[in-house]
Chain A
Amino acid sequence: MLTYLLRRLLLMIPTLLGITIVVFTVMAMSPGGISAQTLVGGMDMKPQEKQALLEYYNKRYGLDQPAPVQYLRWLNNVSPIGFVTDEHGKRGEFSFNKGMDLGTSFQYGRPVSDILAERIPITLLLNLVTIPFTYLIAIMVGMKSATHRGSVFDVGTSMSMLALWSIPTMLAGVLLLGFFANVQHFHWFPTAGISSREAQDMPFLPHWDETGFVRGFLLDRVWHLVLPVICLSYGSFAALAKLTRTSILENLHSDYARTARAKGLAENDVLWRHVFRNSLLPLITISAGLLPSLLAGSLIVENIFSINGMGQLAVEAVKGRDRELVLSITWVSGFLTLIGYLIADFCYTLADPRVSYD
């Protein structure tokens, strides 16, 4: 197992390299590209200051060099092993423990690693809340429509799931925000962010005190997450429910299910112990692709609900042509996706003992 893990981790490196090369090429080939001029251009300052800033950018990031050299330079800074560089961009000697330096964001003027450390947990929180929620609903609905196939429930859900799947995330987001978080209609949920200011001082759990009910940090967070999580989850559970249904139906009619019934097992045991476990495999396969689609979904959802996560950061970075930020977000989201694939492969071994990677 360990060798397999090691091999998979090593195989990630070329894919991650490829991802950054694609994105870097896009940026370098674009009209205007990334140059000190485009960064300094709009700012209102004296010519000498402008010149100084230009020279600073050129020296710090090597923006006056040809694109491949720039890329290699960035790669050297990011990779944990490579040449040590000092703050003037001079190359020192080769080292194996120089650490990763993601660079400094052009538009925020802060280290990229700091910004990412703030933003990634928020996006991960959103997605990690969404995934179990999605699976729970999908399995319930899929199971019910498979066992009652051809019933009104089955036909109804099969159509409405396709409809749900076709609702664009931004439409759902805008409607939910407009009707359930706006003072004009039902002001039930907060409009923006993932926690209110006063929640910072509250104790973690909800409780009663002399002023009345205090919702506490946890409940406040949950209250903020309701709408974004609905927005993120409905599309995936619609797709998953259809898949669950097909997969369970296939197994319900298989020989081993008939054998189990013939032995006199209760239908519930047949369903949950035998059929369900075998129907899990395609669901796990899909789960690998779920993470990238959720990451893309959080891009829209975070923009609608003004959540300061990685999705919002991505849009800002791309709009501001922030090279360091764009590249780092790219490989980090690529990395998360690959980790998702890896976890899915491990879940196979849990669901099906026949699968082994040794």
Chain B
Amino acid sequence: MTEHAVSRESFAARIWRKTLDGAGVKVGLAWVALLVFAAVFAPFLANSMPLLMSKNGVISAPVLQYLSMEDTWVLATFFIALAVYRLRLGTAKRILLFLLGSALAAVLVNLFVKPPVLVIYDDFRSAAYTEADWRIMPPIPYAPTDYLRDLGSKGLEAPLVTEGHTHLMGTEENGADVLSRMIHACRISLSIGLIASGIALLIGVVVGGLMGYFSGVVDMLGMRLVEIFEDIPTLFLLLTFVAFFGRSLYMMMVIIGVTGWSGYARYVRTEFLKLRKQDYVQAAVASGLPLSSILFRHMLPNGVAPLLVAVSFGVAGAILSEATLSFLGLGVVDAPSWGQMLDQAVKSSTFNWWMAVFPGGAIFMTVFAYNLIGEAFRDAIDPKLSSKAGVNT
């Protein structure tokens, strides 16, 4: 008699295990983890000031003194996320706790962190900082906005050619170190990718959910709206939004989110159209639950799996959108960004290969990583859509 192995694995756990099966997805996750690490600890990885120094017996940490409010908040949020992950709680409670914690951190940071307003990087190369008993410098001893004026940097120097300093990836047009700028630019890419697709997802789920649940007239009107947003080339719509609404980082997140929801809406709509006649939904309606509860507590968790795939491709798309906008000269002005650096590769009369290869490579790797993750998710969730479809039949 054959024994039947009964799996007690939950659906989510099985999807997660199957997703992690391939090699590609591990590479993708490792790259994203590396980016997160670089983004969170950017001021400690690439900065002009010493991490720790001892002068006349007094030990000080200039990096900590000069940590900006943003840096502090990012660090705090990272550790809150770690702590929340370790706690044994339900997903909803974890998310709520995380949001509360990061909001609290934002308030505390605003109240208590008062970094010096003016940072003159040249000072850190003066005797006051260099003639110490001992000091530990960050791995890349240049800040992203340190244009090395006092060192006579001419800008756009190829990697490892500058005498006296090592610029592993060369310098950009103003003379700042490219590697340092790339490390700090991780923040923009990651945050835009996550928050913009979060906004798009929210709009898409609400619009698509309403369309799928009510069908009929609501569905028809909603689909026209979706079609309108799909028929304008997205990049062009983005361009119009950004050119007319200014270029702050937060505005860009909102704009990329607002222009990218139509795909999610389509997904959720099809999923909800299938679900709305199911018995448990009918039961929820019959027991008089409020609409938000039916839509988001009962229907959404059952239609969420294919959405995850769309989200990881969506994050790749959002990162690409930001890079493209920066490349076209419509990105965030004051902060370093990969797309903006890529633009400098051909802007001057010569071709600066290091400005194309490194930032461009970073964009490519990030987009590739999210696509790999998306692919693995899809294979795990829907074997019919899988890229391996037909192989094992």
Q: Spell out A's residues near B (CB within 8 Å).
A: 14-15, 18-19, 22-23, 26-27, 30-31, 33, 149-150, 158-159, 162-163, 165-171, 174-175, 177-179, 182, 184-185, 242, 246, 249-250, 252-253, 292-293, 295-296, 299-300, 303-304, 314-315, 318-319, 321, 326, 329-330, 333-334, 337-338
Contacts and interface: CB of A to CB of B under 8 A. Distances in A.
A23 B239 CA distance: 11
B389 A249 contact: yes
B244 interface: yes
Contact of A178 (B237, B346, B363, B391): B346
Nearest to B367: A166
Given A26-B237, A27-B244, A171-B363, 16 more contacts: A15-B224, A18-B224, A22-B228, A26-B240, A30-B244, A166-B371, A170-B327, A170-B360, A179-B351, A242-B387, A249-B390, A292-B231, A321-B243, A321-B244, A337-B232, A338-B231
Most buried by A among B228, B240, B345, B346: B240
B265 to A, nearest CB: 15
A246 B379 CA distance: 13
B320 interface: yes
B371 A296 contact: no
Contacts of B229: 22
Contact of B245 (A30, A300, A338): A30
Nearest to A167: B364
Contacts of A27: 240, 244
Contact of A168 (B244, B324, B357, B391): B324
Contacts of B271: none
Most buried by B among A158, A174, A337: A174
A23 B342 contact: no
Interface in B367-381: 367-368, 371-372, 375
Contact of B236 (A178, A314, A319): A314
B345 A178 contact: yes
Contact of B368 (A162, A253, A304, A334): A162
Contact of B233 (A30, A246, A292, A321): A292
B91 interface: no
Contacts of B233: 292-293, 295-296, 299, 333, 337
B233 to A, nearest CB: 4
Interface in B333-355: 339, 342-343, 345-346, 350-351, 353
A68 B163 CA distance: 62
Most buried by A among B228, B329, B357: B228
Contacts of A250: 389-390
Query: Would you call the interface of chain B mostly helix, strand, loop, or mixed?
Result: helix
A327 to B, nearest CB: 10
Nearest to B326: A170
A150 B391 contact: yes
B30 interface: no
B241 interface: yes
Contacts of A185: 351
A208 to B, nearest CB: 35
Interface in B215-239: 224-225, 227-237, 239
Nearest to A17: B228
Most buried by A among B235, B371, B389: B235
A175 B360 contact: yes
Contacts of B346: 174, 177-178, 304
Contact of A184 (B244, B245, B329, B350): B350
Contacts of B155: none
Contact of B390 (A165, A253, A295, A337): A253
A338 to B, nearest CB: 6
B24 interface: yes
Contacts of B225: 18
Interface in B103-124: none
B205 interface: no
A168 B360 contact: yes
Contacts of A184: 350-351
Given A15-B227, A168-B360, A177-B346, A326 B235 contact: no
Contacts of A178: 345-346, 351, 353, 356
B123 to A, nearest CB: 36
Interface residues of B, number: 53
Nearest to A182: B351
Contact of A299 (B235, B244, B387): B235
Contacts of B235: 296, 299-300
A330 B236 contact: yes
Contact of B375 (A18, A162, A182): A162
Contacts of B232: 19, 22-23, 330, 333-334, 337
A221 B372 CA distance: 38
A253 B393 CA distance: 9
Nearest to A23: B240
A219 B371 CA distance: 38
A12 B344 CA distance: 41
Contact of A159 (B24, B343, B345): B24
Nearest to B244: A30
Contacts of A158: 387
Contact of A296 (B228, B236, B241, B357): B236
Interface string B288-325: 00000000000000000000000000001000100110
A314 B239 contact: yes
A22 B226 CA distance: 12
B246 interface: yes
B228 A15 contact: yes
Contacts of A246: 387, 389-390
B360 A171 contact: yes
A111 B26 CA distance: 55
A192 to B, nearest CB: 11
A170 B244 contact: no
B356 A149 contact: no
Contacts of A166: 316, 364, 367-368, 371
Ranked nearest first, the 10 interchain pairs of A and B with the lowest CB-CB distance are: A30-B244, A171-B360, A249-B390, A178-B351, A166-B368, A18-B228, A296-B235, A318-B243, A296-B233, A166-B367
Contacts of A300: 235, 324, 327-328
A162 B371 contact: yes
Contacts of B330: 319
B241 A26 contact: yes
Nearest to B239: A318
Most buried by B among A171, A177, A182, A333: A171
B242 to A, nearest CB: 8
